[in-house]
Structure 1
Amino acid sequence: MSAPWIVHIIDDDEAVRTSLRFALSVTGYAVETYADAADFLGRLPTDRGVLICDVRMPGMNGIELTRMMQAQGLALPIILMTGHADGALQTEALQAGAAVVLEKPVSLPTMLETIARVGAGLG
């Protein structure tokens, strides 16, 4: 699945970033990775894309980043991932502006379907 936009991955776990980057790259996606929210914001993309972000990270967490992006009008669809999904966290993430919350580990088919769905409006 090739897309005219980039998948941005923010996760403090290098193994997660590397494996997701590889898996998405071999399926045709252009991928950029970031170690944390500050790294992403320091290289803030100006192109269209989808953001995959871990919820629990040092510094700014994924929900805080989602809120900040929404407040500043940075309109990337956001897929949040967490190893500890519960109803309250999912509600908070969706109210903050996340498109989807996925519980880790996420299978590649689920990730690909989710990226395609949230990125469908990007063209």
Structure 2
Amino acid sequence: MSVIDDDEPVRNALVMALQAFGYTTATYVDADDFLARGREGCGVVVSDVRMPGTNGIELTRILRTEDGNTPVILLTGHADAALLAEAMSAGADALLSKPVALKDMMAEITRTAAFYGLSS
């Protein structure tokens, strides 16, 4: 599981929640950090949409262009119909609004991981 968010408290909270559910996590301060550090075995990518540099939508497009098999769940504090359409068009598996209920996030991660044949 890869967690990408430029907001450190949000990133840390996501990691703690995921680890509590048994997921192994790697963290990245932004999409550029994720892209620079290599992504072998990155699992489900949980990324903020709005970050400095490459944003979550652009990251999704890059991942879809490179291999098409990296699951991506995007998080945003500013969801609307246009952003949802853009995220889905880019190839995101889901767009969740912050603050996201833990049970909703875990259900989406579980569904997405199962679809791609991944485990924790």
TM-score by length of 1: 0.91
Shift of 1:44: 2.0
Equivalent position of 1:104 in the other structure: 98
Runs of 4+ in 1 over 2 A off after TM superposition: none
2:48 corresponds to 1:47: no
Moved more, 66-75 or 28-37: 66-75
Matches within 5 A, 1:9-88: 9-47=3-41, 49-88=43-82
Distance 1:48 1:59 in 2: 20
Letter in 1 for 2:56: G
Cα deviation digits, residues 61-101 of structure 1 (max 9, x gap) = 00011111111125211000111101011001001000000
**How far apart are the structure 1 equivalents of 2:63 and 2:14?**
23
1:48: how far off? 5.2
Higher strand fraction (1 or 2): 1
Identity of aligned residues (%): 50
Distance in 2 (CA, whole Å) between partners of 1:99 and 1:25 is 21
CA-atom RMSD, angstroms? 1.1
TM-score norm. by structure 2 comes to 0.93
